[in-house]
Amino acid sequence: MSGNVPTREVARRVFAREYNDASYTFKESEDERAPLYLLLPTGERANRVFLVGTLTEKEDVGEDSEYWRGRIVDPTGTFFAYAGQYQPEAASALRELEPPAYVAVVGKPRTYETDDGTVNVSVRPESITSVDAATRDRWVVETARRTLERVDRFDDEGNEYALMAREEYDLPVEEYTDAAVAALESLDDGDELEENEAPA
């Protein structure tokens, strides 16, 4: 087995609340093909993300060619996904899907700085798949578990990404514990969650 076969980065599970607070990106080497990472405020790097939520709206925002924007809501907030000619499968999925629909998305983080210096984060999807409510619920449970694990490790000595997060973000990580717990509680409320995720 060859030692230099590139492996795909693990897709990190992250709630919208934490994802939207992330703004710092970095590379681990000077190689132009080195992966670009988004630094999560709980002290983890993410080159790819895995999210599940409700597609509440979609719009073709392209001018010369199709460029789809999807609004995907989880119990903690909203993700925006953009797919065009370079993401044909994801763009096709957004074209075909009718909101509201549960979707699973694997994609790459993208940051964009606005004129006023605010950094917005979106997802460039590799794939968008229609899923059922049970799949969405399992994702919430597992994502809450992973979030709580990251918060637990945040103060560990030698956690280089937590140190980096401390420097880049002035955010109390307890907020993400609260968000994870609230997301789990929303599953018990079932009906209330549907109201929260209704299209605006």
Query: Would you say residue 174 has pLDDT above 60?
Result: yes
Q: Which of 120, 134, 147, 136 is CA-nearest to residue 51?
A: 136
Query: Would you say residue 158 has pLDDT above 80?
Result: yes
Looking at the domain assignment, is residue 6 inside a domain? no
- Residue 146 domain boundaries: 11-196
Looking at the domain assignment, is residue 93 inside a domain? yes
Average pLDDT of the chain is 91
Looking at the domain assignment, is residue 150 inside a domain? yes
In tens, the pLDDT along 20-60 reads 999 999 999 999 889 999 999 999 999 999 999 999 999 99
Looking at the domain assignment, is residue 140 inside a domain? yes
What's the confidence (pLDDT) of residue 1? Answer: 43
Looking at the domain assignment, is residue 2 inside a domain? no
Residue 56 CA to residue 51 CA, distance in Å, equals 14
In tens, the pLDDT along 59-90 reads 999 999 999 999 999 999 999 999 999 999 99
pTM of the model: 0.89
Looking at the domain assignment, is residue 133 inside a domain? yes
Position 192 confidence tier, pLDDT thresholds 50, 70, 90 = very low
Domain tally, the chain: 1
Looking at the domain assignment, is residue 3 inside a domain? no
Q: Please, are residues 75 and 140 in contact by the beta-carbon 8 Å criterion? A: yes
What's the confidence (pLDDT) of residue 81? Answer: 98
Q: What is the CATH number of the domain that holds 79?
A: 2.40.50.140
Q: Which of 90, 82, 75, 80 is CA-nearest to residue 143?
A: 75
- Average pLDDT (182-186) is 97
